[in-house]
Structure 1
Amino acid sequence: MKKTLLLGFMALAGFTAHAQLPAGSTAPDFTATDINGNVHHLQEYLDQGKTVIIDISATWCGPCWNYHGSHALKNFYNNYGPNGSDEIVVLFIEGDGATTLADLQGTGGNTQGNWTTDPYPIIDSAQIASLYQITYFPTVYRICPNGIVTEIGAQNAVNLKNSVQNGCGQMLTGAQNNAEIEDVTLNLCDASTPIDFNVNFKNYGVNAITSGEIALKENGNAIATASISSNVSTYGAGTVSFSNVTINEGSEYTLELNQVNGGAPFDGPLSAPKTADVTVAQTGNNNSLVVLVQTDNYPGEISWRIKDSNGAVVANGGPYQAGPGAAGAGGPDANTTKTHNVVIPEGVADCFSVELLDSYGDGWSLGSTAHGIEVYSVGTAEPIFDYTAGNFGSNVTLNAAFKTAGILSTDNDLTVSKFAVYPNPSNGVFNFSTQEAVSVTVTDLTGKVVYTAADINNGGSIDLSQLQTGMYIAQVKGQSFEKTEKLVIK
């Protein structure tokens, strides 16, 4: 991850007074509730004969984020945990008591990104970190069924398996033919032209996948199949291609593994059908566009391109000004909105793709604001295309992003009133990104006014933490626009 923080070594004085638990110690027992409300009792897992791996980390810790980004624990969990053979337990322990749920979800101000994307449980408990006497983040422990705890370091999935088998004497069988289809979005320029698209999958089984078949179903009926023909090793990724498929906008589409290696796929959560998200490109009312780019905390690394249907670049921007912080963090272009006026030549009615790039390779994922890109057609209040970015790696291409009508605007003022509220949901504090001062009236679902504020400028906030959790309605008014927002307090 970007800018590995040297804070991998603990800066919390409450922990440095302890020594690391020596190898061979009996693991302190604990019962804790994860962020989804599920209860975990260590001794109960050990009594079931399962080895438990605990990763004690902190959301602000660069080395911890590096390990999270390797997906070692995700791979191990999907093969040998509940998503596979269910022989082991993986628990992520957030060890800094100052961490919030927003930090874990990647929207807080003290985080490296979204930590909730992997499937294993997350427990926010500085008490467990103290119980295990950690002196730095991340600390990865192996707890054998006999209760003996050993620090094993940040290992990959293969070495985690070897550590369990060699250190605990628990022989792991894993799952065979255990594959998962990744999330699929079918981007259409229109709903009448057949499209070609790829579907990615990952092998979480102990054996290589050398053959298989994925079916595309429309409203439950198979309309196309694609074959797996490559050799995909354990924890490897593969791709199948569908060609000349007509997608109807009103239908529901799912992708299902018909067979893997000549037989049924592993019967587990990962083999469940995946629903495809069908999107049809919106058409702007003219070719005069405004592109709003919401940068992250490292603007010197991010850039973007818009391409026409032939793949030619018609507009681009970035990288932006790097900041004075470590590796270019911060500065005037960080965590802000950059505005670009783009004019597509008159007469060009085309379908365009948008490509986001990050030179470091971790997407647009760090900072105190939302990150992404929006495209407006001049004269429209809502974007014809918007995308919220995260850790997409070095680049992501968003096909069939928007279309143009072929005519130019008669309005010479290529500006768009921009407003956003974040994080949402939140713990009650909502921040505002706005190009003009706004007033806000918040009502509950019965229509009762519970909060009002005026003259909120860009970077301002409102604090609704005194209200009960649930949904509220905010009426936002500026000089040039009015907007209704749903606010959710967790």
Structure 2
Amino acid sequence: MKHIYMLFAVLAISSTALAQLPSGSIAPDFTATDINGTEWNLYDLLDEGNTVILDFSATWCGPCWNYALGGTLEDMYSTFGPEGTGDLYVFYLESDDSTTDADLNGTGTATTGDWVSITNFPIIDNASNIFDSYSNTYYPTIYTVCPDGTENATTGEMEYSLVESGQTTFEGHVAAAFQNCANSITGAAPLMTYNGETSSCGGGEWMASTSVSNLGSDDVTEMVFAVELNGAAQTDVTWSGVLSNGGNETIDLGSYNEIGTFDYSLVSVNGASWNADGTAAIVGSTEATSYVQVRITTDNWPEETGWTIESASGMYIDGIATGSLAGSNDTEFTWDVALDLNECYVFTMIDTYGDGLYASQWGDYADGVASIVSMDGMDEVGVVLDYNGASGVEFGELVAGMEVTSVTGITENDLTSSVNVFPNPFSDNTTLSFSAAEAGQASVVVYNLIGEKVIEMNLGNIAAGTQSLQLNFSSLEAGIYLVNLTAGNETSTLRVTNVQ
């Protein structure tokens, strides 16, 4: 994360600093007046059963402005706020007290634009005291505070916990506000997630669809979707049926041949207007061999980086979870991946902060690079993806399509080809075996599918040759996990299933 410290003089005279409040912490209460003169108390809103989103930003903060322009929090407020279902409040807290009213209105010297005109929810200025009470260290910091509080056994007062929801999508904020929080939405409340194809294999037809869950108290009986492809309107899609609270339905949004940007909007629910948007990037496919290398040189924030390769049907093939490279700043990694002939795959690289590997914009840091290279043994025979953070290109997701058109060999003594987990699936315990080409340090880290580290094993300095060790999942829930093995300079990630 990019830490933007406001009070340099304070840091210069203080040797200690509070850590930012982690998810699950109790949200400090506050009372503040917005720029229109309305006074707000956080706990009063929570006592009334509202979820509250707190957006700590600064008028000069570029990532804050870019996220605001996307309109995600504005859509949350208009859909679920006082003029919508009445279940949620959003606040913009301008947390750098050195900024001015002119900066808020886009005419000052420390501003990225007119914040007042693009923000439809309350703006609280001079909120550095609230920023500090949450021990924040960077902008933007976005929290969701849940109304399902607990009573303090000592004071008898209610306390409410928070989660750092961050710069997520509309769907991500809805999940944080109404799934993570025990707060149902009044009326019908469909939540969309794109689950269609994201690549056109060999330039052929691709299918679009969205998964819709109803988080509201009323049944959804009709939905109308407006669809655009590269800005051109397509035929509206109408669905009818019964989607009850907690139910899920996949909606077919049509088939297409053109690649590019696919936008879909839920414009009507049960005959009433609705405002929810989604976007999917549809990529073409570059020819690749059956053996490719994923190469990434991390920047100063490697914990933000992750990647996956999935088949055209969405089956997971390989990847690493975000967080798994933590501590490996400015480090080159190579992963070997075997693919099937005449199949198409989608590579997705993730940066949780949204700035890609463009680290030099934050100071004297080296930019990262990423590539996918088709291999034949030790020889490079083609390039699928070539990205350099020094180009200034930022991303939250970087997507590339591949179509395997030829079979090539993989090098001997390759770590990826020698790693095996058996049995898989398993119940509580399984065995990881691999062959190390040379002696060196080795470690195993296991992540769940949301990137949390659940097992960590430092194997120390291992000898060259075949290695075997037991993995114990008995303390973990049944589910899918990613086992990340590092031996020397090689890394391999396997997908395993604990069925208990």
Please indicate, yes or no, whether the TM-score normalized by the shorter chain is above 0.5.
no
- Normalising by structure 2, we get a TM-score of 0.41
Higher strand share: 2
